[in-house]
Structure 1
Amino acid sequence: MKTIALSLASSALVLGLSLSAMAAAPANGAAPVVEGKDRPILLARMVVTATPLPN
């Protein structure tokens, strides 16, 4: 029982430290723009959400 309690406490500590480190990270500025052949290309990450198709 003591081992389980210590394991849970250490896991919570590691999770708290990792979350606080991510929260303290600076936010990214504007995405860089690269001149393309015909038009500028915006280099940025995109978040894509998917929904299941109906049957």
Structure 2
Amino acid sequence: MKAITLSIASSALVLGLSLSALAAAPTTGAAPIIEGRDAPILLARMVVTATPLPN
């Protein structure tokens, strides 16, 4: 029972640290929105990191 309690407490601590790091990340501001034909279009940039696949 003690091991289960310690496991849950450590998981909660790691989750809290992860969420606080995400909350502290700087934001770039709101992306511009333009009117589309059926729905608004959100104009934003996305950064993608790729690694080569093995042959």
| TM-score, length-scaled by structure 1 | 0.53
CA distance in 1, matches of 2:3, 2:43: 48
Show the counterpart of 2:11. 11
Q: CA RMSD in A?
A: 2.6
Which ranges in structure 1 are unaligned for 5 or more consecutive residues? 32-41, 46-55
Flag structure 2 segments of 5+ consecutive residues without an equivalent.
32-41, 46-55
Cα distance between partner residues in 2 of 1:18 and 1:27: 17
The offset of 1:28, in angstroms, is: 1.7
| Secondary structure at 2:26 match in 1 | coil
- 2:52 matched residue in structure 1: none
Largest Rg, 1 or 2: 1
- Counterpart residue number, 1:20: 20
Aligned residues: 37
User: Alignment identity in percent?
Assistant: 83
Deviation string 1:25-53 (CA, Å, 9 cap, x unpaired) is 0002466xxxxxxxxxx8515xxxxxxxx
